[in-house]
Structure 1
Amino acid sequence: MGIRTIITTILLILALIIISTTTAAAISCDCGDICVNQSGWWRDNGALNASTTPIQAAVDNATAGETICVAAGSYTAKVNIATPHLTLRGEGAGVVTVNVTSISDHAFEVTANYVNISGFNATGATDFPHAGIYLGGVDYCNISENTASNNYRGIDLGDSSNNTLTNNTASNNSYGIYLKSSSNYNTLRSNTASNNSYGIELHSSSNNTLADNTASNNSHGIYLYFSSNYNTLTSNTASNNYDGIEVHSSSNYNTLTSNTASSNDYEGIKLGHSSNNTLTGNNCSNNNRGICLGDSSNNTLVNNTASNNYYGIDLYSSNNYNTLANNTASNNTHGIYLRYSSNYNTLTNNTASNNYYGIDLYSSNNYNTLVNNTASNNNRGIYLYSSSNNTLASNTANSNNNRGIYLHSSSNNTLASNTANSNNYSGIYLYSSSNYNTLTSNTASSNDYDGIYLYSSSNNTASNNTASNNMRGIYLYSSNNNTLTNNTADLNSDHGIYLHKSSNNTLTSNIANLNDNNGIYLYSSNNNMLTNNIANSNNYGIYLSSSSNYSSLADNTANSNNYDGIFLSASSSNTLTNNNASSNNNRGIYLSSSSDNLIYNNYFNNTNNAYDDTGSNIWNTTKTNGTNIIGGLFLGGNYWSDYAGVDNDSDGLGDTLTPYNSSDDIENGGDYHPLVMSDNTPPLGITYLQNITHSRTYINWTWTDPVDSDFSKVLVYLDGVFQENVTSGVQCYNATSLISGTTHEIGTRTVDTTGNINQTWVNNTATTASTLDNTVPVINSVSLDPTDPNTGDDISVTVNATDNVGVTAVIARRMQFDAVGVVRCCVARERVVARMAQFDAFVVVRACSIARERVVVTRRMHFDAIVVVRCGVLRDVAVIHTA
Structure 2
Amino acid sequence: MKFMYTKTLFVGIAILMIGSLICVTVGCCVTVGCDHTVEILDICCLNTTAGWFYNDTGWDYYSGDVYTPLFHLLDVTDELGYYAFCIDFEVPVEKGDIFNASVYPATPTCRNNSIGYILNNWIIDCVHCDNVSAGQSAVWYFAYIDETFCGGCSTQYNHTATPGGLGWESNWIPNCSAHPEACDMIDASINQSVPYNIAITPGTGSYTKGEPVELEATVAYCLGVVGAPVTVIFETTNGVFENGSASFENDTVGGIARAHLTCNADTATVTARIKDFKWFEIVDPIGCNVIDYQPTIRITTIFDDAAFNFGSAPLTCTCDLCVNMTGWWRNNGTFNQNLTTPIQAAVNNANASETICVQNGTYTENVVVNKSNLTIRSANGSAVTIVESTAWDEHVVSIIDQTGVTLDGFTLRGAIGEDEDVAGLYLENATECNISDIIITDITDEIAAYGIWLVNSNDNRFNVTTVSDIMGYWDAIGIAVVDDSYNNTFSANTSVSFIAAGELACGIYVGTLEGGSAANNWFSARTVVSDITMLYSEWGTNALGIWLAGGASNNTFSGTTSVANITAVYYACGIGLGNLLDEDAEEYSNDNEFVSSTAISNVTAIAWEGQAVGIGLADAHGNTFASDHRIYALNSYDQAIGIFLRESNGNSFINGSISNLTADSYTIGVELYESDNNTLSCFEIRDNMVGILLEGFMSLSTYNRIIGNVLINNSGEVEGGPAIPATGIHVNQASAYNEIHENCFFANEPQASDEGWSNNWDGNYWDDYNTPPGPYVIEGVGSKDYHPLLCCLQESATECASDVKGFEIKYNLTITVYRCDNNQIIRITDGSKTVLIQVLDHNFTCAEVVDLLKGLELANFATLPELVLVTYTDSLVANVSFWRSALSSNPDLVVEHLELITGNGSFSRPESNCTSAGDDDNCTDERIIVGVTELAKLVQSYGLAPLWYGLIAVSRENSTNVTYQRRMVEGWETLLLVAFGELLEPPTGIFAENVAAVDVVTAFGSPDMWEDGLPYNFIQLGNETSNLSIVFTYPAGTKTVSFEPELIFESLPVNKFKTVLEVSAGKHWWSKPEFDHVHFANESGNLTATFDNATLIITYDEDLIFNSLPDRKFGESLEAGGGHYWWSEPSFDTVHFTNDSGDLTVIFGDANLTVTYDEDLIF
TM-score normalised to the size of structure 2? 0.32
- Select the structure with the greater relative contact order (CA < 8 A; seq sep ≥ 6): 2
Higher gyration radius (CA): 1
